[in-house]
Chains A and B, each alone.
Chain A
Amino acid sequence: MFGIVGTVPEDEFPLISDAVVLEDDQIIFGNKRVAVNRGTPAMIAAAIKTLEHMDRPNPFCFLVGDIGSGEGSKRLYKYLADHLPDSSFKTLAFHYFQPDVGLFKKVVAAINKMPTRPTLVADAGFMYVAKMAGDAPFFDLFTPDAGELAYLADEKAPHPFYTRGFILHEENLIPDLIKRAYRHHNAASYLLVKGVEDFIASKKGIIETVDNPCEEILEPIGGTGDTLTGIVSALIASGMDIESASVKAARVNRLAGLNAKPTPATQVYDIIKQIPGALTEIL
């Protein structure tokens, strides 16, 4: 089973642990609907499009409403700590979340009690808190962008907001930042770094780069990182190894972006619609 953990940007959205359905630009959980625009809903939508192509069932999602107060995230941390030990997931992908080191540690302990350890993917807030807590190597794949990679590479920064300027500087090359992140044990087993050129790396070094097709306009579009995380997580959940899934996901995401004929004002759902065609072409 494939599980996705994240937040929905609506204060009143309840804690839900359920399978999901995608209907046009909305995700449906029982009688609840969420618009697919960015954040975890965009990640889920991209994952569903990928799973449909791979003829796999939709993901099981653990979601809660949180607009930044952290209250929803706290409830979901506690729910995961209580329920993960009795659950069985082959792949778990963690996404937008309020970082809380103490509660995060309880989730890690719960994962360690699961009957079989799942493949663990983390992006966004969950990736931040994994690094803050010193538990980055516990994860199998992180999907940072250049700014987030600089945060992982800065062994002193407790949050991207405190990344030191000499590390954040554009002149720093991605391979150097990757090396620095691994040197200080602040990276997952694999990194899929999204950018003008995507890098797939492990502690042994750069495994592959993907720069084709090249569509620079994707950078300002909110949610293009979320779609990449959704696609790669779904490919891993479909049985693909992490290296292959990362390379193929990077290509699919880039092609879907290109096919959407984007401008900096394009919204991510227009790219999500292009994922099935890109999957057909790439896989």
Chain B
Amino acid sequence: MGPPPEIRSGCDLVIEFPLIEELSITRKLSEINIKPTQVVPINSPLLEPVDLLLEKEYGKYLMVRAANMKITVDRATKMIVNVSGGGCPDVPYLAGEMVNRHLSNAPQPRDIGYTLCAYALQLAYDRVVEQCSV
């Protein structure tokens, strides 16, 4: 989820949980070396991640856009031919690692990315995999 305005700092992701479970949840997170930036009570609805994906066909190529990220594959060969969009520094890195790789063995944004742009690219990647029946 997206953070409320008063605690936004940049490329932020919020996990919502019942306050009564704070201790056990922060303990679980620390067991896997994840330290929340802040734990705060909220009393207004949080923003949800993008859920609207757009698909566009260019002949044998399929492009999927999720928010600001786009991925394009050759449907015939199932090769990733382009990654575009985004603004965080892992986007050019992800593009370099994923382009010219087969959908079945390309590294996934969730594994080598860091940012919300990578998260958006993962959504687009998942849709492409679904559409290309990999």
Q: Could you tell me which A residues sit within 8 Å of B by CB distance? A: 7, 9, 37-41, 66-70, 72-73, 96-102, 123-129, 132, 145, 147-148, 151, 156-165, 168-170, 216-217, 219-225, 263-267
Interface status of B31 (Cβ within 8 A of chain A): no
CA distance A278 to B29 in the complex (A): 54
User: Considering the complex, which residues of chain B in the window 2-52 have a beta carbon less than 8 Å from any beta carbon of chain A?
Assistant: 2-3, 5, 8-12, 47-52
With a cutoff of 8 Å between Cβ atoms, the chain A residues found around residue B10 in the complex are 70, 98-101, 129, 132
CA distance A164 to B51 in the complex (A): 9
Interface status of B116 (Cβ within 8 A of chain A): yes
CA distance A148 to B66 in the complex (A): 11
Q: Of A41, A216, A223, which is within 8 A of B84 by CB?
A: A223
Do B89 and A7 touch across chains, with their CB atoms under 8 A apart? yes
With a cutoff of 8 Å between Cβ atoms, the chain A residues found around residue B12 in the complex are 158-159
CA distance A145 to B91 in the complex (A): 15
Do A160 and B67 touch across chains, with their CB atoms under 8 A apart? yes
Distance from B68 Cβ to chain A, minimum over Cβ atoms (Å): 4
Interface status of B107 (Cβ within 8 A of chain A): no
Q: Of A9, A102, A220, which is within 8 A of B72 by CB?
A: A220
Q: Could you tell me which B residues sit within 8 Å of A by CB distance? A: 2-3, 5, 8-12, 47-52, 54, 56, 58, 61, 63, 65, 67-70, 72, 74, 81-96, 99, 113-120
Count of chain A to chain B residue pairs whose CB atoms are closer than 8 Å in the complex = 182
CA distance A219 to B23 in the complex (A): 47
Distance from A33 Cβ to chain B, minimum over Cβ atoms (Å): 15
Distance from B105 Cβ to chain A, minimum over Cβ atoms (Å): 18
Distance from B74 Cβ to chain A, minimum over Cβ atoms (Å): 7
Distance from B38 Cβ to chain A, minimum over Cβ atoms (Å): 13
Give the 9 A-B residue pairs with the shortest CB-CB distance, closest first: A68-B90, A39-B92, A68-B114, A124-B87, A222-B84, A265-B81, A9-B93, A160-B68, A66-B89
With a cutoff of 8 Å between Cβ atoms, the chain B residues found around residue A98 in the complex are 10-11, 88-89, 115
Do A159 and B11 touch across chains, with their CB atoms under 8 A apart? yes
Do B89 and A96 touch across chains, with their CB atoms under 8 A apart? yes
Distance from A131 Cβ to chain B, minimum over Cβ atoms (Å): 11
CA distance A101 to B8 in the complex (A): 8
Distance from B119 Cβ to chain A, minimum over Cβ atoms (Å): 6
With a cutoff of 8 Å between Cβ atoms, the chain A residues found around residue B48 in the complex are 162
Residue of A nearest to B109 (CB): A68
Do A127 and B84 touch across chains, with their CB atoms under 8 A apart? no
With a cutoff of 8 Å between Cβ atoms, the chain B residues found around residue A217 in the complex are 58
With a cutoff of 8 Å between Cβ atoms, the chain B residues found around residue A156 in the complex are 47
CA distance A223 to B12 in the complex (A): 25
Do A162 and B92 touch across chains, with their CB atoms under 8 A apart? no
Do A168 and B50 touch across chains, with their CB atoms under 8 A apart? yes
Of the listed residues A41, A73, A163, A223, the one surrounded by the most CB atoms of chain B closer than 10 A to its CB is: A163
Distance from B93 Cβ to chain A, minimum over Cβ atoms (Å): 4
Do A70 and B120 touch across chains, with their CB atoms under 8 A apart? no
Do A220 and B82 touch across chains, with their CB atoms under 8 A apart? yes
